[in-house]
Amino acid sequence: MKLTTAGESHGRALTAIIEGLPSNLTIEIDEIDYYLALRQSGYGRGARQKIESDRAVILSGVRNKLTLGSPLCLMVENKDYKNWEEYMSPYGADVTARRLTRVRPGHADLTGLFKYDQTDARNILERASARETAVRVAAGTVARMFLSELGVEVAGYVRSVEGISDDKEYSFEEIKAAKSSELFMPDAALCERAKRRIDEIKEAKDTAGGIIELHVKGMKSGFGSCMAYSEKLDAHLAFAVMSVQAIKGVEIGLGFEAARRPGSRVHDEIYYKDGAFFRKTNNAGGIEGGMSNGEEIVLRAAMKPIPTLMRGLDTVDFDTKEACRAATERSDVCSVAACDVILESVVCFALAQKILERLGGDNMREVKERWNRLPQ
C-alpha cells in the first residue's frame, strides 16, 4: 500500500492517492471528518483553524461506501485559498507580493531556497508547512478503518507540554478517553498547568513543543522482520513518525531509558501457562528483533516548538544579506494535541502497510481470512 500527497498550504486543495487498498473496505466519510476536526482542535492553536473547517471529499476508488480496489483519491479543500488565489494561482500569480525572504530559523526556508534554486521562500514553505498533514490524517483514517476490521486500535495522548510532564502509566481505555481533554492529557490538573504555561508562552510571543505517546492494541505477533534490516517494524514506524513536521525524536518501549538500566531491568522475561507464552512486562514496547510480539506497541515522539515565532528570531534577509528579524506567518503557539492526531494517523497507515505486505489479499474477505489464521 502506497500513499502520495500533493498540495500547498495556501493552494486550492490538498490531495492524497492511496494505492493498494483491498476492495470492499467500508469507508465512512463522517469518521474521516471527525479526525480532521480533531486535528484542528487543542489548546494553543492559531487563527487559521478559525478559517478552515476541514472536510474530506472522495474523488475516486469508492462506490456506495466500499473501496473498489483501485486507487483511492481524497481531497481536503483549503478554504483560505480565496484570499490567496492572486498570489498562488498556477495560471498566473502576483509573485512579487507575499514574498518571504526573512528566512525563519528552524524552518525549511533557507535550505530549500538553495536546494530548489528559488529566491522566494514561499515556494518552499507552502509545501513544508504542517498544513500538509490534514490530508495525511484523512488517508490515515482510511487505514484506521482497515485496522479496525482486524481488531487493531491506535490511540495516543500528550505526555508533556514543554516542561510539564505526566509520568504516570495509563490503560488503553484511559488513553482513548484523553481526547475529551483540551490538550489530550489524561490528568486534569496537569492539563490545567499546561494550559497556563501555554498562555505564558503566548504572551511572550514564543512557542512550545511536547511529547506524544502512542499505543497500538490488537496487533498480532510476527509483523516486520529480523531477516532484513529494511523490513524491521520499529524502523518502519520510526520512519513514519519522523516524517511528520517538527518531530525530532522517537522512542519505542523504554527507549532511551533502556540505556540507563542493566539488562535485568530492561528485557521482558518470558513465561508459559495454560498453553500460551506471555510476558509480565512490556519494556520492549511490543517489538522484539524488529517484529511485533503480540504485546501493546508503545511509541513516544518528541515535537519541537513551532519555528514561526510571532516576535521573530535573529536571521538574515536572503535578498539583502542584512541582519533582521525572521518573518512571521499565521501560526500556532502549541499544536502538540494536533500532532497526536497526526501521529496516530501515520502509525495507522504504517501498520496497514506492514499487514498487507505480509498477508496480501485483493479484497477484505481474503485479508480477514489470512489474519484470522495467524496466532496471537
Binding residues for FMN: 127-129, 245-246, 289, 304-308, 330
CA distance 282 to 309: 39
Which residues does residue 279 pair with via DSSP β-bridges, in sequence order? 270
| Structure-block grid coordinates of residue 244 | 511528520
80, 98, 358 from 83: Cα distances, Å: 6, 12, 46
Tell me if 256 sits within 8 A of 330, measured CB to CB: no
Which residues does residue 278 pair with via DSSP β-bridges, in sequence order? 271
CA distance 179 to 158: 10
Tell me if 62 sits within 8 A of 72, measured CB to CB: yes
Binding residues: 39, 45, 127-129, 245-246, 289, 304-308, 330
Tell me if 292 sits within 8 A of 219, measured CB to CB: yes
121, 182, 189, 195 from 333: Cα distances, Å: 22, 14, 21, 11
Q: Give the burial class of 165: count Cβ atoms within 10 A of its Cβ; 0-12 exposed, 13-18 middle, 19 or more buried.
A: middle
**Residue found by looking up cell 529494511 in the block:** 230
Binding residues for NADP(+): 39, 45
DSSP 183: T
Q: If DSSP states are collapsed to H, E and C, what string results for 312-366?
A: CCEEEECCCCCEEECCCCCCCCCCHHHHHHHHHHHHHHHHHHHHHHHHCCCEHHH
